[in-house]
Amino acid sequence: MPTIDISLKDLQKLMGFDITFKELEEEGILYVKGEVDAFEGDEIKVDCKETNRPDLWSTEGIARQIAPYYTKNKGVPKFDIKKSKHEVIVDKGVEKIRPYFVAAVIKNIKVTDELIKQMVQLQEKVCMTYGRKRKEAAIGLYDYDKLTFPMKYVVVDPEGIKFVPLGFKIEMTPGEILEDHPKGQEYKHLLDGFKKYPLVIDSAKVVASLPPIINSDYTGKVTGNTKNLFVEVTGNDLGVVKVALNVIVAALADRGGMIESVKVKYGGKTIVTPDFKPNKIIVEYDFLNKVSGLGLKVNVMKGLLEKAGYDVVVDGNKFKLEYSSYRQDILHPVDVAEDLLIAYGYNNVEPVIPKIATVGELDDFEVFCEKVRDYMVGLGGQELLTFTLTNRESLFDKMNVEDWGCVEIANPVSSQWSVLRNWVLPSMMEFFEKNTSEEYPQQIYEVGDAVVLDEKKETKTKDVKRLAWAYSGQEATFTYVKQVLDYLLRGLNVKYEVVDVEHGSFIEGRVGRVVVNGKKIAYIGEVNPQVISNFGVKMPTVAFELNLTDLYELL
């Protein structure tokens, strides 16, 4: 969770009124889900508990969020954007390297020590946390008056151009920067495998930066003499870079800067940034009261939501809400309920002891799963506990099956952890892949969760418990795996049959579908040699995967 440094005097100046340290610590800072970690004189260290609100990771953002609770400035913060003729031309060559570029111009900004301090801090926090260590978003700030528009976002050879990187006094090529500059050494992995590197350059061929590594010393040095700024963000996700840009631009606007738009041209497509068009969500009044437990009247609830930064329109028993474009944490009405509780004040919520005391016990289904585990241990299997997060390549490509859909992560930390698994057997194969140097045979199993798409559910998904078992060794035959499954199901007093099917993960003619009371609950068979090869496993492998959720419902 981000920890940020702020000045109390600077905070008061941005809010437009005085607030004591005690008021801030006991009330104000709670509105941004923060805690005062330490303070000395005017300097305060704030531990921000909100990891999905990059707009709160600066003095400007905190002031913007707190002020409505003490003033009449409520609703979605408004930012005036002046249309301009500034353009950025994006070269097609960046498409497979770092495809997205957004930008803004800030005019008539008074660059103070506090502004520089907060911009450096905010830039670092956004890039490291929200931008996934610059992989998804890297921010550049430049002296606008040293640049000639239109700007260009191009690719160059590693030795194709020279410029002085920020903090250095000698010219270096992009290749030399990656090898010899501290920032190049730290972030060069983001450009590994590419024969050309991205470059931001102006029409006079003045280099602005080598994203996501370093700015040039000439254009990227912002001082007290700087009057106008050019802000750009590059990355691999357009939504992420737009949010990052809006966060920076909003902070600079709060400091008195005038925002001017920039046209970014991607071949035949043009986008205009920054874009502060509010996001929208509809929430039922009764839902908010039910989740929060507050029992508030409509007008009271409306006022609290406006303090929390929403524009509110009452429509029958629903609220039509608009909220800031840089807020990507509102995914469900329950997130609005959380904001309502924060606005109401957690300290004002009266604790109530439940009238009915209960005694906990194991859920019947969990007892059933424990019984299954006991049988598998008796067969000599090693139990695994693997991650539910995985990637499409492991789920489908390496398993030699078509992609039938899975739950995706909106902003994954890594492409290796970008989806939720919809079956468990790929996790077994990944385990074998990482243990090829160990002694064979290897027998493993897991009673684990899988997440499948289900349009009937509110979340459009459903969690199911599955048993995956796999054996890799010379004795891996269909007869062997059939005996294991038979032992388990007979122990559970389950009558079943195995019918012939085709499945890309298994050898044709050596794969079956397990059916109980007319319901298909498992696949069983000898793993396809292509799958074995894809995972680099050295021995024949057999496996089955059983849907324990469905099986339990049939018992």
Three-class SS string for 112-129?
A: CHHHHHHHHHHHHHHHHH
Quickly state the pLDDT bin for 305 (edges 50, 70, 90).
very high
Question: Is the model's pLDDT at 413 over the cut of 80?
Answer: no
Q: Quickly tell me which residue has 């502060």 as its tokens.
A: 276
The pLDDT assigned to 117 comes to: 94
The pLDDT assigned to 414 comes to: 78
| Percentage of the chain modeled with pLDDT above 70 | 100
The pLDDT assigned to 37 comes to: 85
Note the helical H segments in 345-438: 364-378, 392, 425-434
Q: What are phi and psi of 240, to 5 degrees?
A: -65, -45
380-392 pLDDT, tens per residue? 999 999 999 999 9
The pLDDT assigned to 171 comes to: 95
Q: Taking residues 185-191, what's their average pLDDT?
A: 93
Asked if residues 158 and 173 have their Cβ atoms less than 8 Å apart, the reply is yes
CA distances to 18, 135, 302, 336, 341 from 307, rounded to whole Å, are: 18, 34, 9, 12, 12
Q: If you write DSSP's letter for every residue of 177-189 in order, what string do you get?
A: HHHHSHHHHHHGG
| Percentage of the chain modeled with pLDDT above 90 | 85
Q: What is the rounded average pLDDT for all residues in the chain?
A: 94
Question: Is the model's pLDDT at 549 over the cut of 90?
Answer: yes
Quickly state the pLDDT bin for 394 (edges 50, 70, 90).
very high
Question: Is the model's pLDDT at 97 over the cut of 90?
Answer: yes
Q: Quickly tell me which residue has 């004591």 as its tokens.
A: 20
- Rounded CA separation 375/95 (Å): 52
Domain 364-554 sits in CATH at 3.30.930.10
- Rounded CA separation 32/40 (Å): 21
- Rounded CA separation 415/421 (Å): 14
Contacts of 510 (CB under 8 A, 6+ apart): 478, 525, 526
Q: Quickly tell me which residue has 């998904």 as its tokens.
A: 461
Starting at the earlier edge strand, list the strands of the sheet with 214-215: 214-215, 207-210, 197-201, 151-156, 87-90, 262-266, 269-273
Q: If you write DSSP's letter for every residue of 423-459 in order, what string do you get?
A: -SHHHHHHHHHHTTTSPSPEEEEEEEEEEEE-TTSTT
Quickly state the pLDDT bin for 531 (edges 50, 70, 90).
very high
- Rounded CA separation 217/220 (Å): 5
Question: Is the model's pLDDT at 51 over the cut of 90?
Answer: no
Q: If you write DSSP's letter for every residue of 479-491 in order, what string do you get?
A: HHHHHHHHHHHHH
464-483 pLDDT, tens per residue? 999 999 999 999 999 999 99
Name which residue leads in pLDDT, 292 or 352: 292
pTM of the model as a whole: 0.72
- Reduced to 3 states (helix: H, G, I; strand: E, B; else coil), residue 56 is helix
431-464 pLDDT, tens per residue? 999 999 999 999 999 999 999 999 888 888 999 9
- Whether residue 212 is preceded by a cis peptide bond, meaning omega within 30 degrees of 0, is yes
> In the structure encoding, which two tokens stand for residue 91, read together?
């070269």
Q: If you write DSSP's letter for every residue of 289-304 in order, what string do you get?
A: HHHH-----HHHHHHH
Handedness of CA 163, 177, 167, 122 (dihedral sign): positive
Q: How do the domains of the chain map onto residue ranges?
A: 3-69, 81-273, 279-348, 364-554
Q: Of the ranges 2-16, 35-49, 83-97, which one carries the lowest mean pLDDT score?
A: 35-49
Give the E-state strand segments of 197-277 in sequence order: 197-201, 207-210, 214-215, 229-235, 258-260, 262-266, 269-273
Q: What is the DSSP letter of 70?
A: T
- Tell me which fold the domain 279-348 belongs to: Phenylalanyl-tRNA Synthetase; Chain B, domain 1 (3.30.56)
Cβ atoms within 10 A of the Cβ of 349, count? 12
Give the residue among 314, 312, 307 at the shortest CA–CA distance from 341: 307
Helix (H) or strand (E) holding 499: strand 497-500
- Rounded CA separation 187/441 (Å): 42
The pLDDT assigned to 38 comes to: 85
Q: Of the ranges 38-47, 103-112, 493-502, which one carries the lowest mean pLDDT score?
A: 38-47
Helix (H) or strand (E) holding 152: strand 151-156
Asked if residues 395 and 422 have their Cβ atoms less than 8 Å apart, the reply is yes
Contacts of 20 (CB under 8 A, 6+ apart): none
Same-fold call for 3-69 versus 279-348: yes
Question: Is the model's pLDDT at 357 over the cut of 80?
Answer: no
Question: Is the model's pLDDT at 1 over the cut of 80?
Answer: no
> In the structure encoding, which two tokens stand for residue 149, read together?
């528009």
The pLDDT assigned to 261 comes to: 97
Give the residue among 414, 327, 382, 311 at the shortest CA–CA distance from 74: 311
Domain 81-273 sits in CATH at 3.50.40.10
- Rounded CA separation 373/383 (Å): 8
> In the structure encoding, which two tokens stand for residue 137, read together?
């978003």
Q: Which amino acid is at 416?
A: Q
Kindly report the CATH class assigned to 3-69.
alpha beta
Q: Of the ranges 15-29, 117-131, 135-149, 344-358, which one carries the lowest mean pLDDT score?
A: 344-358
- Reduced to 3 states (helix: H, G, I; strand: E, B; else coil), residue 211 is coil
- Rounded CA separation 144/253 (Å): 16
> In the structure encoding, which two tokens stand for residue 416, read together?
């290796």
Q: Which amino acid is at 436?
A: T
Quickly state the pLDDT bin for 399 (edges 50, 70, 90).
very high
The pLDDT assigned to 148 comes to: 96
The pLDDT assigned to 164 comes to: 96
